[in-house]
A and B are shown apart, each in its own frame.
Chain A
Amino acid sequence: MAYVADAPKASFRPSMLIYDTRYRSITIQVIVLLLAVLFVGWLADNTIQNLAAKDKDINFSFLWNRAGYDLDQQLIPYTNDSTHGRAAMVGLLNTLAVAFLGCIFSTILGVFIGVLRLSKNWLVSRLMTVYIEMFRNVPLLLWIIMVFVIFSEIAPAPKDFKVTDEMIAAGELPKASMMFMDSVAVTNRGTNIPMPLVEHPLGYVNLGFATANLTVVALFALIGASIYANRRVARHARAVQEATGDRPTIWWKSLLILFAPSIFFLWALGFHLEYPELKGFNFKGGLNVAHSFTALLLALVLYYGAVIAETVRSGIIAISNGQSEAAFALGLRPGRTMRLVILPQALRVIIPPLISQFLSLTKDTSLGIGVSYLDLRGTLGGITLNQTGRELECMLLMMLIYLLISLLISFVMNIYNHSVKLKER
């Protein structure tokens, strides 16, 4: 290797900036940097000129001004006297609510359908294929709008639920009736579902930027503690099993630890459900869920259920047949084979695409615009934008928030992905 040291140490010539690979990359990077800076500068200059021409500036203080519009779905207290910032917050929570529920339900549906599509039952697997292809190959917006239109055009009016004395006398049934033991009423104005309430709420605590509902916080803390305690019990059982070979029976302990504290807590606070009731021309009491929410959620779940089903199917197919044959040869039952052998391996294949599907689902909640769902885009990028005329600020803020959500989801899911990844070398 002596000749390497003998390489000519020629003095630097300007032409080496182009012809010598050692320097060329620096040249190219400098040129690209210059071009990028020039481009951004050009954009900024144009923006400043355009803003000046329209007598505008870049100013986010409108976020603290009175919003003056109502929102029909709010997870935190909001009135039309609240600020634009608060409205954006409500919208963000609405986005997150749909995204969260959508991810959970579509995963459940997707796993269910993906497994059924692989079923040996000819009829069921064909039906699932039809379902998957039908939903995957048609725009999501169509499903959202269609579900919305069906809900608001086909669902009966509240007055159709009315039962009058004459109708009872004549033995007639009302045109429409409530579902699930008189607890859910689907009308053309919205879906009325029972509202969980407690008689003795623990009250609220003001954290400065937000108010926390102590009852909810306490309940979640209790559930978290139960899960932790249950894991301790399971770990103890495993330790005993590994030491003695006998696994102690713990299922009743688990059930007790998991559910008893929460049930007792709710009972002590006087938990009950407030059912919707027909009073006059509309349903009173309970929780009125707007059709825009239902339609968006349902369409997202159906569409992404189909997409996730394909992911699940390909993940399971990717595990070679030898794995399940080996498991059967060891004497594992089909259920345990699935749980202990196939799924842990399939998860590794399934999770990376699943992450991107969750991301797309979250971004696609912005299609709620098609049914006027007031999510982040509907509040910050919609009404606020139109009222204040601050397109630049609203759009930038909105893009930034969506970007943050996406990065957060991919961060969390990547941690999970890392934990199930095959640990090799």
Chain B
Amino acid sequence: MANTEASFVRTEMVAPQEPPLSERGVVKWVRENLFSGPLNTILTVLALVSLFYLVKLSLPWWLHGVWKANSLGECRQIIADAYGPDATGACWAMIRERWHQFIFGFYPPEMYWRPILSFGLLFVALAPALFFGDRRNNLVILAGVALFLLLSLWALDNDLLHIALIMMMMAGFVALVLIAPRKLLWFTLIYPALAQFLLWGGSVWGPVLTMLGLAVLAVVYVVLQPRFGVVMASAMGFVAACVWWLALQSSVSTALYTLMPIGLEALDSDQFGGFLLAFVIGVSSISAALPIGILLALGRRSDMLLIKTLSVTIIEFVRGVPLITMLFTASLLLQYFLPPRTNFDLILRVVILVTVFSAAYIAEVIRGGLAALPRGQFEAADALGLDYWQAQRLITMPQALKISIPGIVTTFIGLFKDTTLVTFVGLAEPLRGITSIVRADIDWKGIYWEPYIFVGAIFFLCCFSISRYSMYLEHKLKTDHR
């Protein structure tokens, strides 16, 4: 074979050539992605034309934005002076002057550190749940929170002593995470009382003793559980805790407060507003709704006819009516359903009803998670001789919750967006409450794009980042090998 030398057979390899111009680089990309066929070409041209018009219409408005003015009229004057009488421009000066109302409502400015601190600590409390004891991620979260607290407290002119104290607390958390990341869960447990104390102020003993009620529940449960089983023990614990909360707590708390008057200045719920209110309602409702939702989901899958019927009725009723009717129930009807002369805070009433509302949705999400588990899991738990609650706690729920986390997060996003509806029962949420207050001001009358864009942008940031986090979580928790 070696000596057959035909003149038409090449003996050396041809040097590789670059692909033709239309098959490489930008040209190829544009051809393939933008102009690959007549339909695509039309679509691209249409998209470009509409983009062009959008930019042409709105770009001057964005570019001519004014940040320093005292009223809308002044804004318009500045824009007219600078860019001619027909020029349009954004008047961001309104945001500059009123941003604190959009964020904090009517919270006293010198106490802004309280909501900020509770917001920061919220992430510390969430960290163990968000990242499952992953030390590195927890540290990243803690560092982020510390940086956020430092910057925002410094920007709000808090004195150095307070900042230093808060930073020492953060350092304590970092140390805790480094030594025993799982122990951070205890902070998660006490966070609700802490946040309530920070936000509303008042005597420190109220929240402390409320947490003590939970401790009573835990002690009774631990003592009685071996004898009476989970349901009876937790019921008795609940009764004991109720006795503590309703009968004893207030007198003990008053006595302690006269002995040791520790506390922060008490604030009224009227002073809450803006995104602070949205976060308070959203976070407290969703965290209270989670256990109720789990119980409802279990009830809906129960073999016991009565419990199943009850759960289905509650879930379907709540899911069948709009949230707004639930809110009106909170503001108009709850006074009929509760004992005469009970009157409590509107925010609390709204939180209760929103909790019921989201519990039904969460129940459906968790039911989906339970339904996705293979039957073998339930049977294996039975075969191991676990009782119902052990099986739920050790086998079923960890898997079902894992599957339903994206759904729970979606529910939370929906709920967070729906907190805007509390405006209709008279709470000053950012979108309509605060915006209408601002627009009623003589200085800012007639302003409409800017407040809505500002509020919308903050909502977008929150919801978008939460949904991205949920996607990350879904990816991370996917342990099956499909």
Question: Does B320 contact A134, Cβ atoms closer than 8 Å?
Answer: no
Q: Hey, which chain A residues are within 8 Å of B455, CB to CB?
A: 142
- Taken residue by residue from 312 to 355, chain B's Cβ proximity to chain A (1 for < 8 Å, 0 otherwise) reads as 00001101111111001100110111111000000000000000
Residues of chain A contacted by B337 (CB below 8 angstroms): 43, 46-47
B229 within 8 A of A: yes
Q: Does B420 contact A (CB under 8 A)?
A: yes
Within 8 Å by CB of A124, from B47, B317, B322, lies B47
* Interface pair B459/A137, CB less than 8 Å apart: yes
B456 close to A366 (CB less than 8 A): no
Q: Mark A122-137, 1 if CB is under 8 A from B, else 0.
A: 1110010000011011
Cα–Cα, bound, A134→B460 (Å): 7
Residue contact A140 to B417, C-beta cutoff 8 Å:
yes
Report A-chain residues with C-beta under 8 Å of the C-beta of B480.
Answer: none
Contacting pair A369 B340 (CB below 8 A): no
Q: Given the complex, which residues of B lie within 8 Å of A153, measured CB to CB? A: 446, 448
Q: Which A-chain residue is minimally distant from B310 (CB atoms)?
A: A36
Render B445-461 as a binary contact track against A, CB cut-off 8 A, 1 for contact: 01010001001100110
Residues in A neighbouring B321, C-beta threshold 8 A: 363, 399, 402-403, 406
Please state if A120 and B36 are interface contacts (CB–CB under 8 Å): yes
Stretch at the interface among B90-98, B175-183, B298-306: B298-306
With A32-B306, A141-B432, A370-B432 known as contacts, the answer to whether A392 contacts B333 (CB < 8 A) is yes
- Of the candidates A46, A142, A377, A391, the one whose C-beta lies within 8 Å of that of B452 is A142
A-B pair count, CB < 8 Å, reads: 150
> Is B231 part of the binding interface, using a Cβ–Cβ cutoff of 8 Å?
yes
Alpha-carbon distance A403/B319, docked complex (angstroms): 8
- Shortest CB-to-CB span from A370 to chain B, Å, is 6
Beta-carbon contact of B464 and A133 below 8 Å: yes
Q: How far is the CB of B471 from chain A (nearest CB, A)?
A: 12
Q: Indicate if the CB atoms of B452 and A127 lie closer than 8 Å.
A: no
B139: CB under 8 A from chain A? no
A395 near B325: Cβ-Cβ < 8 Å: yes
Min Cβ gap B98→A in Å is 17
Q: Which residues of the other chain, A, contact B417 by a CB distance below 8 angstroms?
A: 137-140
Contact B431 A366 (CB under 8 A): no
CB-CB under 8 A for A121 and B332, given A43-B337, A142-B431: no
Within 8 A of B (CB), among A44-94: 46-47, 49-51, 53
Query: Which of A144-152, A196-204, A340-348 contacts the other chain?
Result: A144-152
Is A18 within 8 A of B232, CB to CB?
A: yes
A407's partner among B51, B307, B320, B460 (CB-CB below 8 A) is B320
Contact: A149 with B448, CB < 8 Å? yes
Q: Which residues of A contact B452 (CB under 8 A)?
A: 142, 145-146, 149
Q: Is the CB of A50 within 8 A of B336?
A: yes
Task: Give Cα A391–Cα B335 distance, bound, in whole angstroms.
Answer: 11
B126 an interface residue at 8 Å Cβ cutoff? no
**A377 CA / B425 CA spacing, docked (Å):** 14
Would you call A119 and B43 a contact (CB within 8 A)? yes
Q: Which of A240-276 contact B (CB under 8 A)?
A: none
- Shortest Cβ distance from A249 into chain B, in angstroms? 27
Specify which of B305, B324, B452 lies most central, judged by the most chain A CB atoms within 10 Å of its CB: B324
Majority-rule SS of A interface residues: helix
Q: Are A142 and B34 in contact (CB under 8 A)?
A: no
**A365 to B413 alpha-carbon distance, docked (Å):** 19
Q: Is A277 among interface residues, defined by CB-CB distance under 8 A?
A: no
Interface size on A, residues (CB 8 A): 55
Known: A32-B306, A391-B332. A46 touches B338 (CB 8 A): yes
A323 within 8 A of partner (CB)? no
**Is A302 part of the contact surface with B, judged by Cβ < 8 Å?**
no
B390 interface residue (CB < 8 Å to A): no
Question: Is A305 an interface position by the 8 A CB rule?
Answer: no
Q: Is A286 an interface residue (CB 8 A)?
A: no
For the complex, what is the distance from the CA of A141 to the CA of B446, rounded to whole Å?
Answer: 19
Do B328 and A123 have beta carbons less than 8 Å apart? no
Complex interface bits, B222-236 against A, C-beta within 8 A gives 1, otherwise 0: 000000110110000
A122 in complex: contacting residue of B33, B418, B431, CB < 8 Å = B33
Interface-central residue, A25, A121, A133, A136, by most chain B CB under 10 Å? A121
At the interface, yes or no: B44 with Cβ under 8 Å from chain A? yes
Query: In the complex where A124-B44, A142-B455, A392-B336 touch, is A403 in contact with B320 (Cβ < 8 A)?
Result: yes
> In this assembly, does B380 line the interface, its C-beta being within 8 Å of a C-beta of chain A?
no
Instruction: Say if the beta carbon of B254 comes within 8 Å of chain A.
Output: no
With A46-B340, A123-B34, A123-B44 as contacts: A402 and B333 at CB distance below 8 Å: no
Q: How far is the CA of A203 from the CA of B432 in the complex (A)?
A: 46
Contact, CB under 8 Å: B456 / A142: yes
Interface presence of B40 (CB below 8 A)? yes
Query: Is residue A216 contacting chain B, with contact meaning CB distance below 8 A?
Result: no
**Contact of B264 with A by CB under 8 A:** no
Cα–Cα distance between A119 and B339 once the two chains are bound (Å):
60
The listed residue with most A CB atoms (<10 A of its CB), out of B32, B323, B420, is B420
Q: Does B48 contact A (CB under 8 A)?
A: yes
Bound CA span A370–B323, Å: 14
Evaluate contact between B324 and A367: CB separation under 8 angstroms.
yes
**Cβ of A415 under 8 Å from chain B:** no
Partner of B47, one of A18, A33, A51, A123: A123
Query: Would B43 and A124 count as touching, CB distance under 8 A?
Result: yes
B194 close to chain A: CB less than 8 A: no
B197-239 at interface with A (beta carbon < 8 Å): 228-229, 231-232
Nearest chain A CB to B114 CB, angstrom units: 26
Q: CA A216 – CA B111 in complex, angstroms?
A: 64
Which of B227-265 touch A at CB < 8 Å? 228-229, 231-232
Residue A381 at the B interface, CB < 8 A?
yes
Does A109 reach chain B (CB closer than 8 Å)? no
Q: Tell yes or no: B166 within 8 A of A by CB.
A: no
Measured between beta carbons, the chain B residues less than 8 angstroms from A363 are 321-323
Closest residue to B36 on the A side, CB-wise? A120
Q: Are B421 and A141 in contact (CB under 8 A)?
A: yes
Provide the A12-36 mask, 1 if CB < 8 A to any CB of B, else 0: 0000001000000100110011001
B463 adjacent to chain A (CB < 8 Å): yes
Q: Which residues of B contact A119 (CB under 8 A)?
A: 40, 43
B232 contacts A120, C-beta separation under 8 Å:
no
Residues of B within 8 A of A327 (CB): none
From the candidates A43, A116, A142, A377, name the one contacting B324 in the complex (CB within 8 A): A377
For the complex, give the distance between the alpha carbons of A238 and B293 in Å.
52
State how many angstroms separate the Cβ of A415 from the closest Cβ of chain B.
18
| B424 CB–A CB distance under 8 Å | yes
- Taken together as a complex, chains A and B put the C-alpha atoms of A32 and B309 apart, in Å, by 12
Residue interface mask B381-424, A partner, CB < 8 A = 1: 00000000000000000000000000000000100011011011
| Shortest Cβ distance from B231 into A: residue | A28
A285 to chain B, nearest CB (A): 31
Which residues of B7-57 are within 8 A (CB) of A? 32-34, 36, 40, 43-44, 47-48, 51
Q: Which residues of B contact A51 (CB under 8 A)?
A: 336
Kindly state whether residue B467 has any CB partner on chain A within 8 Å: yes
Q: Does A398 contact B (CB under 8 A)?
A: yes
Residues of B within 8 A of A122 (CB): 33-34
From B324, B333, B464, A369 is in contact (CB under 8 Å) with: B324
Which residues of chain A are within 8 angstroms of B460 by Cβ–Cβ distance? Answer: 133-134, 137-138
The interface residues of chain B lying within 8 Å CB-to-CB of A121 are 33-34, 36, 40, 43-44, 47
A46 to B339, CA, bound (A): 5
What residue of chain A has the Cβ atom nearest to residue B457's Cβ?
A138
**Bound form: Cα–Cα A371–B322 in Å:** 17
| A46 B336 Cβ-Cβ under 8 A | yes
Top 9 nearest A-B pairs by Cβ distance? A122-B33, A137-B463, A406-B320, A363-B322, A403-B320, A139-B417, A366-B322, A29-B306, A391-B332
In the complex, 15 of the A-B residue pairs with CB atoms within 8 angstroms, ordered by the A residue number, are A18-B228, A25-B303, A120-B36, A121-B40, A122-B33, A124-B43, A127-B47, A142-B431, A145-B432, A145-B452, A150-B448, A369-B424, A377-B324, A381-B328, A406-B319
